[in-house]
Every structure is written in structure tokens, then in C-alpha cells.
């Protein structure tokens, strides 16, 4: 693929989920974390990153909460799109379609979960640096540290799964605009972008991040995220 000096980097943040595992009436992205909606933490990091030209947030079509907050300090770099879909992959694909007129095929898209509020500036710059000479792209990930068990469907351990060469995928996941769009159009049942790229026969680069970039899924995760944000030195 031909690349030019003008290749841009944009972030796309899917935030159209309901967060049902949090057992809260409020969608996860709007839960309060240190006095701000959860999603604001990652958006601030992405908007402050000099390597990122624009930050798109994908909200559900019927989102009535976003406009209740003041985002003016992050604009005009931050742009909202009301085009979320029934799954995360649908939300990302709808977002990619919505921005097609502003993108060149070779531009990079960094997809980042709204539910990962502890994204640090060094996570973003490490990913950008590591992928600057890659053609396909890649993702932040961490090598699996725990011994893994597969259950028998009834709460007993059936077997131990080797953790050899296993990684836990995180976000951001960074791919060329056209490559990602085509891959997602063909593989809709995926839980991350890298799976769609793999299904297209390509191999995303694994860039080692760290455990502080956790995804808030359960209520306890909010406390862990608060601890990380309060105690980090970067
Ligand atoms: O639910 P989960 O934590 O896997 O969601 C990951 C990210 O995908 C969250 O930022 C969530 O808001 C987003 N999502 C979405 N559209 C959906 C489902 C999830 O944008 N239909």
C-alpha cells in the first residue's frame, strides 16, 4: 500500500454499549470516575496526544447523556458521531463509514474502548512508535501471566490450557483505514479489530503494554481504575 508523509492518525472510540455487567442503570461510559464520566479520561489522553490528529467518539443513536456534559475543552479535536450499532464491531464499522470522506485509505485508525480509562500517554506513543514502519498495524497487549483453566461447564476444571505464546488483547488497536473497514465488513462476529484483520489472513503486531490499561467491566474495576489514576507517576 502506498503511504505518504501526510498519513494521519485518528482515534475512534466506540461508546455505544450498555455495560450490562456493571449492574448499573447508567451506561458504563458515563459512570463517574474521579468526578468525571468514565469515558472522559481516555478522551483527554487521546486528545492530548500530539501524534493523534482527531478523536471520534461513536455514541448510540439515542444517546441523551453525552450533550449533558461540557466537552468544549476537547473540541475541535474531539468529534461525536451518533451511529452506534448493536455490537462493538458494528459501532466501529458504522464510525468508519461515517468518517469515510475525511480519510485516505492509508490513514491510521486507533480504536480504543471507552471502558479503558487508564490509558496513559506512554501507551499511545509506544504503539505509534512500534507501528511506524509496519504495514498491517497492531495492538497493545500483555503476555498472559496466570495458569489458565477450561471448565467442564459445571464449575469443575476440565483441563489446563497452555499459556505459551498467549497474549491478552487491549486497546488501542491501530490499523489502516481501508484495511480495517474491509476486514470488519467481512468479519462481523468479532470482539476486537485484530480478530477481523487476522480473519483476513494478516498478522497484527503485538506491542507490549501493561496491566494498568485495564477494561472496566465489573464494579470492582472502577475502584482499581481510581487507584491507578491516583497513584500513577507517569
Ligand atoms: O461491553 P464491552 O466492555 O466489551 O465494550 C467495549 C467497548 O465497546 C465499550 O467502549 C462499549 O461502549 C463499546 N460498545 C459499542 N457498541 C456496542 C457495544 C459496545 O460501542 N453495541
CATH value at residue 63? 3.90.550.10
pTM for this one? 0.95
Does residue 75 lie within any of the structural domains?
yes
pLDDT tens string 77-132: 999 999 999 999 999 999 999 999 999 999 999 999 999 999 999 999 999 999 99
Q: What is the pLDDT of residue 5?
A: 56
C-alpha cell, 138: 497492531
pLDDT tens string 48-78: 999 999 999 999 999 999 999 999 999 999 9
Domain count, the chain: 1
Q: What is the pLDDT of residue 18?
A: 80
Q: CA–CA separation, 16 vs 54, rounded Å?
A: 19
Instruction: Band the pLDDT of 6: cuts 50, 70, 90.
Output: confident
| % of the chain surpassing 70 pLDDT | 96
Phi, psi of 86 (to 5 degrees): -65, -25
Answer whether 18 contacts ligand 1 (Cβ < 6 A): no
pLDDT at 226 over 70: yes
Does residue 3 lie within any of the structural domains?
no
Mean pLDDT of all residues in 154-164: 97
Q: Which of 15, 88, 114, 195 to mutate to test the pocket of ligand 1 (most atoms within 8 A of CB)?
A: 88
- Beta carbons of 84 and 61 less than 8 angstroms apart: yes
Mean pLDDT across the chain: 95
Instruction: Band the pLDDT of 188: cuts 50, 70, 90.
Output: confident
Answer whether 9 contacts ligand 1 (Cβ < 6 A): no
Does residue 113 lie within any of the structural domains?
yes
Answer whether 155 contacts ligand 1 (Cβ < 6 A): no
Q: CA–CA separation, 36 vs 194, rounded Å?
A: 30
**Residue-number span of the structural domain to which 100 is assigned:** 9-231
Does residue 1 lie within any of the structural domains?
no
Query: Which ligand 1 atom sits closest to the C-alpha of 28?
Result: 12
Mean pLDDT of all residues in 30-34: 96
Give Cβ neighbours of residue 131 (< 8 Å, ≥ 6 apart). 108, 137, 138, 174, 205, 207
Mean pLDDT of all residues in 168-182: 98
Q: Give the strand pairing for 167-176 and 137-143.
A: antiparallel
Q: What is the pLDDT of residue 198?
A: 98
Amino acid at each position: 500500500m502506498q503511504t505518504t508523509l501526510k498519513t494521519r492518525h485518528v482515534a475512534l472510540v466506540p461508546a455505544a454499549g450498555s455495560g450490562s455487567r456493571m449492574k448499573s442503570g447508567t451506561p458504563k461510559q458515563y459512570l463517574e470516575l474521579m468526578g468525571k464520566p468514565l469515558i472522559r479520561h481516555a478522551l483527554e489522553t487521546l486528545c492530548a496526544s500530539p501524534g493523534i490528529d482527531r478523536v471520534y467518539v461513536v455514541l448510540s443513536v439515542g444517546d441523551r447523556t453525552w450533550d449533558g456534559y461540557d466537552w468544549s475543552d476537547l473540541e475541535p479535536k474531539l468529534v461525536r458521531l451518533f451511529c452506534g450499532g448493536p455490537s462493538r464491531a458494528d459501532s466501529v464499522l458504522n464510525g468508519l463509514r461515517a468518517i469515510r470522506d475525511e480519510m485516505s485509505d492509508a490513514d491510521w485508525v486507533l480504536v480504543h474502548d471507552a471502558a479503558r480509562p487508564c490509558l496513559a500517554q506512554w501507551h499511545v506513543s509506544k504503539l505509534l512508535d512500534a507501528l511506524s514502519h509496519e504495514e498491517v498495524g497492531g495492538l497493545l497487549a500483555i503476555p498472559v501471566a496466570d495458569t489458565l483453566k477450561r471448565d467442564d461447564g459445571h464449575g469443575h476444571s476440565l483441563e489446563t490450557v497452555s499459556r505459551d505464546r498467549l497474549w491478552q488483547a487491549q486497546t488501542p488497536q491501530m490499523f489502516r483505514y481501508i484495511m480495517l473497514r474491509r476486514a470488519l465488513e467481512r468479519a462481523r462476529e468479532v470482539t476486537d479489530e485484530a480478530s477481523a484483520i487476522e480473519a483476513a489472513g494478516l498478522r497484527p503486531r503485538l506491542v507490549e503494554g501493561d496491566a494498568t490499561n485495564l477494561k472496566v467491566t465489573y464494579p470492582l474495576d472502577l475502584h482499581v481504575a481510581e487507584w491507578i489514576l491516583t497513584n500513577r507517576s507517569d
